[in-house]
């Protein structure tokens, strides 16, 4: 049965395909099949596949970077903010398109530019938090890069690490950094 889809449903489905199958499988036909709609529905929301990809990457950036930063900003202490961004990152690892987007960025300049912007935003925010916590700009820069590298690296390890193990490593990390 055909049904109306929203722009957001297209974007969510696109991220699911990316996370589960990779960028090569992110086609208009695959999206239409997944949503059980026609290509006309796709073109109702997007001018082209390139327009869809740009919207998809913006949606990913907003949902997985800007919204996370905003959410953590509503917390009290800097330590709580660092814990929150880490918790959100770890909780999303199993269903996140991050690994696929990073792989895609190696082959596609537009995707690479989005990835660079997301990484810069995340690193800048992490550095801000670590500067507040450590009161040392130079150390905060290194620690924020280490913290972010921890997140990216944990996504790449196969088989996937269990959340409890990642949290235990993060607790060790933050204890060592702040002692």
90 prior amide bond cis, ω within 30: no
Average pLDDT over residues 145-159: 90
pLDDT number for residue 37? 94
pLDDT number for residue 39? 93
Over the stretch 24-78, which tens digit does the pLDDT of each residue have?
A: 999 999 999 999 999 999 999 999 999 999 999 999 999 999 999 999 999 889 9
In terms of Cα–Cα distance, which of 92, 79, 89, 80 is closest to 19? Answer: 92
68 within 8 A of 96, measured Cβ to Cβ: no
pLDDT number for residue 26? 97
DSSP category for residue 172: H
Contacts of 19 (CB under 8 A, 6+ apart): 95, 96, 97, 100
pLDDT number for residue 3? 57
pLDDT number for residue 1? 42
The residue to which tokens 């995707």 are assigned: 111
CATH 1.10.4160 fits 50-178, yes or no: no
Average pLDDT over residues 137-156: 93
Average pLDDT over residues 120-128: 97
Over the stretch 89-104, which tens digit does the pLDDT of each residue have?
A: 888 887 789 999 999 9
The pTM assigned to this predicted structure is 0.90
Burial of 138: CB neighbours in 10 Å, binned 0-12, 13-18, 19+: exposed
- Would the pLDDT of 117 be above 90? yes
């Amino acid at each position: 049965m055909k049904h109306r889809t929203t722009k957001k449903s297209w974007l969510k489905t696109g991220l699911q395909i990316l996370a589960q199958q990779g960028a090569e499988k992110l086609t208009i036909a695959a999206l239409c099949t997944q949503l059980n709609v026609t290509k006309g529905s796709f073109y109702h929301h997007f001018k082209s596949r390139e327009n869809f990809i740009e919207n998809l990457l913006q949606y990913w950036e907003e949902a997985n970077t800007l919204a996370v930063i905003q959410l953590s900003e509503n917390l009290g202490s800097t330590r709580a903010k660092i814990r929150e961004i880490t918790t959100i990152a770890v909780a999303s690892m199993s269903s996140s398109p991050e690994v696929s987007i990073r792989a895609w960025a190696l082959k596609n300049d537009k995707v690479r530019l989005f990835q660079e912007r997301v990484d810069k935003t995340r690193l800048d925010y992490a550095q801000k938090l670590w500067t507040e916590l450590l009161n040392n700009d130079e150390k905060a820069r290194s620690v924020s890069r280490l913290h972010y590298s921890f997140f990216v690296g944990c996504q790449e390890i196969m088989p996937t690490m269990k959340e409890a193990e990642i949290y235990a490593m993060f607790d060790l990390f933050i204890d060592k950094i702040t002692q």
